[in-house]
Structure 1
Amino acid sequence: MPDVPLVDVAGYLPPDLMHRPELWPAGPQRSGAYANGRGLSAFASRSEYGAPTTIAVMDSEHRLHLSVWLRDGMSVDADGWRFQVGGQQTVAGFMPGACWKTCFQGAVHHVGLLVDPGCLAALAGEAGVDYFDGLRRDGCLRIQSGDTDTLRVARELDAVLLDPASLGLMREVKSLELLACLLLANRRQARAGLNARTRECLHAARERLLRDLAQAPTLEELAAECGLNTFALKRGFKALFGMPVHALYQRERMRRAWTLIASGQMTAGEAASALGYSNFSHFGAAFRRAHGILPGQVRRHSLA
């Protein structure tokens, strides 16, 4: 793979690489990590890439890579796999020795676990063995949307790992909690009986749903566009993404509202209008339910 630096991450954790610009070129970075010495490591990484940056990555160690992408992502070309990872998605991979040609751009923010298969079995018993076997049946690579619990715990682990004063015990607890969330999410999807085609349709439905946060499609329109009936859409959406269609749409709507107001891009009234609210009091009530404060308070804080 000419003209692309090749990095073997065996023996490294992301913070080790972040201090080696000759290995891992990026802009401003923050990172933290934890290793328990028994086959489980965790990391949090926030990097800024002002321009597309391509790096060839491999891991010669036999361990699973489990990551939760909280913001932006990467495109990957690996042994015939070509895919894009975005914010709020999870990636599970077990491809020791395989070369991943990765391209990063933007504010890349992710949290991950590196787990020895034997450690996974020791920690999670049959559930760990089933997870590893299922991953290998899926071709050793699985990309899914993160459910509510997984994303929440990933953010909590991120905060703990980036805090140099945090206790090792807390880092261990949050690492194990994230691992448990990923295993449980996988079990729920397996029990829901979602085949590859259904998962693909549901991901397309999610993308279509969030394309316009000012006007959501009806369930009937969404089902027709993604090739499912409304019952399969509602059932599959809850199983794959951990919440009903409207709840996910409203969550993303309120997250966007916070970003628009807190960044100073818009006033509270402008954000309400941009997100499809004709009644500001309805917007204020929805915002308060989601964030615990009124949008005007966020605006005043951002201007302070």
Structure 2
Amino acid sequence: MPGSDHSGLKSMHASPSAAPDQTASGLLVSDVLYGQAPQQLDPGCACYSITRIIEDGLELFQWSGLFEVVKEIQILDDSNRICFSFNSCATGGAKCSYVDGGQREYDIDDNSGRIQYGPGRRGTYCQQGAIHSLSVLIHPDLFESWVGEGQAEFKRLMAEGGVLDGYRGGELRATARMLHRALVSPAEAGAAAGERHPLWLRGQCMTFVSLFLEEHAAASATEVSALDRRRLMRARDRLLEDLSRPPVLADLAREAGLSPSSMNRGFRKLFGASPFALFQRERMVAARQRLLAGDEPVLSIAADFGYTNASHFSEMFRKQFGLLAGEIRRTR
């Protein structure tokens, strides 16, 4: 267990910061996590971070950064944490590259997650535009107490360092947003007075991590080649690009370089659902978020998601969540 890594730190840190000055050793990840990074602002650069220590070895971290021009930052990961991250509301682009370990370069995409571990790894973080990231960070000993030794790929990640990326899905996205609201605006996340209870935060952190592990296990259990996996991931991104209008499946398959039948089989193996079922599920998840977020008329939300008949929309909603669309707000 990680007993005293940062025992003297406050449980909450929120501070405006910026792309700090680069040093010979690089920006320490622990300095970013615990608010010790330099506060000098470059023109056109602004960052904001919040860290909540849930328990020894478990932290919740929210980071937002806006760089008007391309900014490169040398980094050194000294955190000794497994990082489960989800990026959302990205209006720019970012990538990270390391000089050692597995998967030495990866892109940071909108509405996507990754698992990362690399104590002692040096690299370069490059960003332009705005990116928001929600991360749960776990000490390896605590992670092992949760899940045991895990799968071979996790053992390799722990031994060599590296990144597992490409994690997506409506439930993962919704959990990340809920945790974000709990840090930034607890009242919006359902807290009656002040911050959410530590047990609630711990439970949501565990849920967040479990969604990564479930998707990883499902993907590992399939027999999809690396090439077809990339094609299917591209097809899924295209499928979910506009939740108000599903693309024609034949066109989707052609764009991905697959036949319609192989795309259907691949979707069932990799994502556990046909393209249409996956589209419908993600559409209802997004609609549920809209319904819970405000008081928009159900008919207006239904129209935004491509339904001309509110009753049909509400019935499809009931099939997925067990409640009619108009009833879901009573659960807030």
Cα deviations by residue, 1:32-63 (Å, 9 ceiling, x for unpaired): 423411x2222233x36262462423312333
Rate the CA distance shift 1:159–1:244 in 2: closer, same or farther, 3 A: farther
1:159 is paired with a residue whose SS is: helix
2:211 is paired with a residue whose SS is: helix
Q: Which residue of 2 aligns with 1:51?
A: 68
> Which segments of 5 or more consecutive residues in structure 2 lack a partner in the other structure?
1-18, 187-193
The reply to whether residue 160 of structure 1 matches residue 182 of structure 2 is yes
- Higher helix proportion, which one? 1
1:266-281 matches, cutoff 5 A: none
Q: CA–CA distance in 1 between the matches of 2:301 and 2:209?
A: 36
| Deviation (angstroms), 1:140 | 1.6
The reply to whether residue 186 of structure 1 matches residue 216 of structure 2 is yes
> Which segments of 5 or more consecutive residues in structure 1 lack a partner in the other structure?
298-304
1:60 to 70, 78, 87: 78
Q: Which residue of 2 aligns with 1:301?
A: none
| Deviation (angstroms), 1:213 | 5.2
The reply to whether residue 85 of structure 1 matches residue 120 of structure 2 is no
Q: Which residue of 1 aligns with 2:190?
A: none
1:102 is paired with a residue whose SS is: strand
Q: Which residue of 2 aligns with 1:111?
A: 134
The reply to whether residue 26 of structure 1 matches residue 58 of structure 2 is no
2:231 is paired with a residue whose SS is: helix
Rate the CA distance shift 1:198–1:4 in 2: closer, same or farther, 3 A: farther
State the Cα RMSD in Å.
4.2
2:58 to 40, 54, 59: 40
Q: CA–CA distance in 2 between the matches of 1:175 and 1:50?
A: 29
Q: Is the 8 A contact 1:78 1:101 kept in 2?
A: yes
| Deviation (angstroms), 1:84 | 3.0
Rate the CA distance shift 1:181–1:136 in 2: closer, same or farther, 3 A: same
Q: CA–CA distance in 2 between the matches of 1:131 and 1:271?
A: 41
Q: Which residue of 2 aligns with 1:140?
A: 162
1:192 is paired with a residue whose SS is: coil
Q: CA–CA distance in 1 between the matches of 2:32 and 2:181?
A: 17
| Deviation (angstroms), 1:189 | 0.7
TM-score normalised per structure 2: 0.66
Rate the CA distance shift 1:250–1:10 in 2: closer, same or farther, 3 A: same
Letter in 1 for 2:30: G
TM-score normalised per structure 1: 0.71
Q: CA–CA distance in 2 between the matches of 1:243 and 1:158?
A: 28
Q: CA–CA distance in 1 between the matches of 2:128 and 2:266?
A: 31
Cα deviations by residue, 1:95-134 (Å, 9 ceiling, x for unpaired): 332213230423x33211222323322221032x545225
Q: Is the 8 A contact 2:29 2:77 kept in 1?
A: yes
2:46 is paired with a residue whose SS is: coil
Q: Is the 8 A contact 1:13 1:43 kept in 2?
A: no
Q: Is the 8 A contact 1:146 1:241 kept in 2?
A: no
Cα deviations by residue, 1:225-281 (Å, 9 ceiling, x for unpaired): 21233344234334544654224434666749988xx99xxx999998886667787
Rate the CA distance shift 1:191–1:123 in 2: closer, same or farther, 3 A: same
Q: Which residue of 2 aligns with 1:126?
A: 149
| Deviation (angstroms), 1:75 | 1.3
1:123-272 matches, cutoff 5 A: 123-127=146-150, 130-133=152-155, 135=157, 140-162=162-184, 163=186, 165-211=195-241, 215-241=245-271, 243-250=273-280, 255=286
1:8 to 27, 41, 53: 27
Q: CA–CA distance in 2 between the matches of 1:159 and 1:91?
A: 20
Letter in 2 for 1:145: Y
Q: Which residue of 1 aligns with 2:8?
A: none
Rate the CA distance shift 1:180–1:35 in 2: closer, same or farther, 3 A: same
Aligned pair count?
286
Rate the CA distance shift 1:77–1:176 in 2: closer, same or farther, 3 A: closer
Q: CA–CA distance in 1 between the matches of 2:61 and 2:233?
A: 27
Q: CA–CA distance in 2 between the matches of 1:48 and 1:111?
A: 12
Q: Is the 8 A contact 2:298 2:325 kept in 1?
A: no
Out of 217-226 and 229-238, give the one that drifted further.
Answer: 229-238
Q: CA–CA distance in 2 between the matches of 1:41 and 1:97?
A: 20
Letter in 2 for 1:171: L
Q: CA–CA distance in 2 between the matches of 1:292 and 1:43?
A: 35
| Deviation (angstroms), 1:186 | 0.6
Q: Is the 8 A contact 2:67 2:128 kept in 1?
A: no
1:170 is paired with a residue whose SS is: helix
Q: Which residue of 2 aligns with 1:300?
A: none
Q: Which residue of 2 aligns with 1:76?
A: 95
